[in-house]
Structure 1
Amino acid sequence: MMPKPWLHGFLDLCLLAMLRERPDYGYGLAQRLATAGVADVPGGTLYPALLRLEEQGLAVPSWAPSESGPRRKYYEITPAGRNVLDEQSAQWTRFRDGVDTLLAPIEETR
């Protein structure tokens, strides 16, 4: 299980990245996160994150019929969301590279 502070720290970035690929609904996004090996995200964490993206103007919802059951609320990334995704992706890469450097084993020289 992913530590909660870690999940909260990068969930928005992951959601925006997935929405860049295609619009999706909450359960579909949760399945994609699990399949990618990121985390099994509970609804109590996922849906507030989607609402936050919506309130910030980074994702916009729309309703669509479902083939199996009630209609679904799909989210689509906005141009502002793409800008934030680009900025945060660059920040993430720098952060990840720094952590990788710190975690890399020290090579012994003889």
Structure 2
Amino acid sequence: MEPGDESILSHLRRGSVEYCVLALLRDGEAYGLDIGARLSADGVLMNGEGTLYPLLARLRRQGLVETSWRESPSGPPRRYYSLTPAGQQSLHQFTTVWNQFRDAVDSALLGSHT
């Protein structure tokens, strides 16, 4: 990464990571460490798990995800997260807005020569 890249990424993450979490839960439930590993795999969406659990707690308080505890074959029980209907609606709304936003940013960055 170039100097200054982390600052740009931090600004971009601030408004989008919670929706990435919702998107990861779109196809089924997952536990926290799995969500964290998927988000931090490339170091772009998340560069550590320190912010993940407060984010998951906020999503739960907002009614966008729900949790359940399950026994683990190796170790203590795990808390699994899944989307609520409100979470599905929020993700749908974000996806619609994101596509328009992404297209506008791409157009501005690439320049429109029409």
Question: TM over 0.5, yes or no?
Answer: yes
What is the aligned residue count?
A: 107
Q: Quote the Cα distance in structure 2 between the aligned partners of 1:100 and 1:67.
A: 46
TM-score for both structures, normalised by structure 2: 0.83
The equivalent residue for 2:109 is: 103
**RMSD in angstroms over aligned alpha carbons?**
1.9
1-side partners of 2:11 and 2:88: how far apart? 24
Q: Is the 8 A contact 1:20 1:77 kept in 2?
A: yes
Unaligned runs of 5+ in 2: none
CA distance in 2, matches of 1:80, 1:96: 24
Distance 1:54 1:27 in 2: 16
1:34 equivalenced with 2:40 (yes/no): yes
1:74 is displaced (CA, Å) by: 0.7
Q: Could you tell me the TM-score, scaled by structure 1's length?
A: 0.86
Q: Which residue, out of 6, 21, 24, partners 1:15?
A: 21
Aligned residue identity for 1:101: S
**Matched-pair identity in %:** 42
